[in-house]
């Protein structure tokens, strides 16, 4: 029953949203939810139950005057509900019996959980015997239910179920939680106007898998914040914001929490990449490069060229793009863990080389910047990368170019080292292999970094 693990976070979103309602409705500001003098009773619920849904689906899809059938229809676009559900109030909040609230533990009037209250609860839990079912009191239930106001989704109509990305922000500070959602909903054109909390597709980028999508959404968010001069406002709160990622649909979800530290670093990382892209753009007279949106330069040059097995980027069918970006999603996942998976990155590069595709541009810019912002061992990376690059320059144009495959196929540190010794002998150079020695435990990573450096020197567009 993992579902309750993010119940607190969802509950906080609901509380934060209700704060904005009561701030709008009452002259008396609801200062803290804990000291609230707003009573969540039948009257309050009846008056306000449409508001979180309107926030979720957008005012053009649902209005206060619409009846409960329309409300249910709107919710169904986001959350799996049983086909029997055709009303809200009478199938949950107003269908109570005596019992214990799962959330606050109070013995009071409670109702059984339904799909739209806490949508991430596994179906399997809802077929458990009645006395084990989740039950909520009206107050807790309504707060949890209101969490949907700040719930976001990115998917595609053709997408196989279970692969869509859902996410929401979290913070212990309600003002900051409201602020991040307010910023996210500002005139940034991130959401799909016809579908509100669904995220639109972004020009120049394609993604299917959840981490890839989250990566792009955050990038576009930061980019647009910067261009509208909202980035300063954002930076005031970003260290206190968590991100909750969910993969799945219809009550079969898995989740991951991106903590405030990583979220904040991502913001800085993207901000720097955007600045760097604009700089490179300004200083370049390369025609094809000039066609790219300056802020996108590094991210699109790198990220878009991590897809394998797909023809031209634009012609990719859904299924092919899904398969071709599977490894990229694994790589992106490592980024969200505060790590950089060189091994998977190297697999991608080798595969693209095999398919005669371009290597990703701005490799070193992207990697160095990430390592700098996330406090990784950038120095070792740069040493090994430089060595790989220097070897690659010597290999380029000779019959030793294919030696990258010999190195790639080595298994074990010893084999790896003897392949390097062999290569040195063939190239008649003497390299200082100590930076790899120091890395004995992570030799696979060293190998990946070294190979990436070589590939860039031989086939790529720079170190």
Judged by the rule CB under 5 A, the positions of this chain that interact with Zn ion are: 101, 103-104, 137, 140
| Least spacing, CB of residue 52 vs Zn ion, in Å | 18
Shortest distance (Å) from residue 87 CB to Zn ion: 22
Q: How far is the CB of 30 from Zn ion (least distance, A)?
A: 18
Neighbours of 285 (CB within 10 A): 6
Q: Which is nearer to Zn ion, 101 or 345 (CB)?
A: 101
State the minimum distance, in angstroms, from the CB of residue 253 to Zn ion: 23
In the complex, the smallest distance separating the C-beta of residue 93 from Zn ion, rounded to whole angstroms, is 12
Least Cα distance to 172 among 268, 52, 259 occurs for 259
If the CB atoms of residues 111 and 342 are measured against Zn ion, the closer one turns out to be 111
Q: Give φ, ψ of 369 to 5 degrees.
A: -65, -40
- Give Cβ neighbours of residue 315 (< 8 Å, ≥ 6 apart): none
Q: Is the Cβ of residue 106 or residue 414 nearer to Zn ion in the bound state?
A: 106
140 vs 373, beta carbon nearer Zn ion: 140
* Min dist. Cβ of residue 109 to Zn ion (A): 10
CB-nearer residue toward Zn ion: 104 or 429: 104
Nearest approach in angstroms of CB 136 to Zn ion is: 6
Q: Which is nearer to Zn ion, 34 or 127 (CB)?
A: 34
Nearer to Zn ion by Cβ, of 134 and 404: the residue is 134
Question: Which residue is listed with tokens 């540190």?
Answer: 413
- Within 8 A by CB and 6+ apart from 388, the residues are 449, 450, 451, 452, 453, 454, 456, 457
């Amino acid at each position: 029953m993992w579902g309750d693990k993010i119940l607190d976070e969802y509950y906080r979103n609901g509380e934060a949203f209700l704060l904005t309602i009561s701030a709008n409705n009452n002259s008396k500001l609801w200062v803290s939810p804990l000291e609230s003098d707003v009573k969540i009773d039948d009257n309050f619920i009846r008056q306000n139950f449409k508001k979180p849904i309107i926030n979720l689906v957008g005012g053009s899809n649902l209005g206060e005057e619409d009846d409960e059938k329309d409300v249910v229809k709107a919710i169904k676009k986001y959350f799996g509900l049983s086909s029997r559900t055709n009303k809200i109030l009478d199938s949950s909040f107003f269908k109570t019996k005596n019992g214990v609230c799962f959330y606050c533990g109070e013995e009071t009037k409670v109702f059984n959980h339904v799909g739209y209250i806490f949508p991430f609860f596994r179906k399997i839990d809802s077929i458990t015997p009645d006395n084990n079912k989740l039950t909520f009191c009206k107050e807790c239930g309504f707060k949890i239910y209101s969490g949907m106001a700040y719930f976001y989704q990115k998917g595609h109509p053709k997408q196989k179920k279970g692969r869509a990305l859902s996410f929401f922000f979290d913070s212990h500070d309600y003002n900051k939680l409201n602020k991040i959602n307010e910023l996210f909903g500002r005139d940034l054109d991130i959401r799909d106007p016809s579908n509100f909390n669904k995220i639109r597709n972004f020009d120049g980028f394609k993604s299917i898998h959840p981490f890839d999508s989250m990566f792009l959404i955050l990038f576009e968010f930061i980019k647009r914040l910067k261009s509208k001069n909202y980035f300063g406002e954002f930076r005031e709160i970003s260290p206190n914001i968590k991100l909750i990622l969910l993969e799945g649909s219809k009550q079969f979800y898995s989740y991951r929490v991106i903590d405030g530290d990583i979220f904040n670093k991502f913001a800085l990382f993207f901000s720097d990449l955007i600045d760097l892209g604009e700089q490179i753009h300004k200083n370049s007279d390369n025609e094809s490069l000039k066609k790219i949106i300056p802020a996108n330069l590094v991210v699109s040059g790198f990220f878009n060229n991590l897809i394998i097995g797909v023809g031209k980027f634009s012609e990719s069918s859904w299924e092919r793009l899904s398969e071709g970006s599977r490894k990229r999603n694994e790589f992106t996942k490592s980024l969200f863990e505060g790590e950089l998976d060189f091994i998977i990155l190297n697999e991608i590069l080798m595969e693209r080389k095999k398919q005669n595709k371009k290597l990703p541009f701005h490799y070193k810019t992207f990697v160095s910047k990430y390592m700098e912002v996330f406090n990784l061992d950038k120095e070792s990376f740069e040493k090994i990368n430089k060595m790989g690059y220097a070897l690659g320059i010597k290999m380029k144009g000779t019959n030793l170019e294919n030696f990258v495959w010999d190195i790639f196929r080595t298994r074990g540190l010893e084999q790896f080292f003897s392949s390097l010794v062999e290569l040195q002998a063939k190239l008649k150079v003497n390299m200082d292999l100590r930076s790899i020695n120091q890395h004995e435990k992570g030799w696979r990573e060293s190998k990946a970094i070294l190979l990436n450096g070589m590939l860039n020197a031989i086939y790529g567009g720079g170190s």
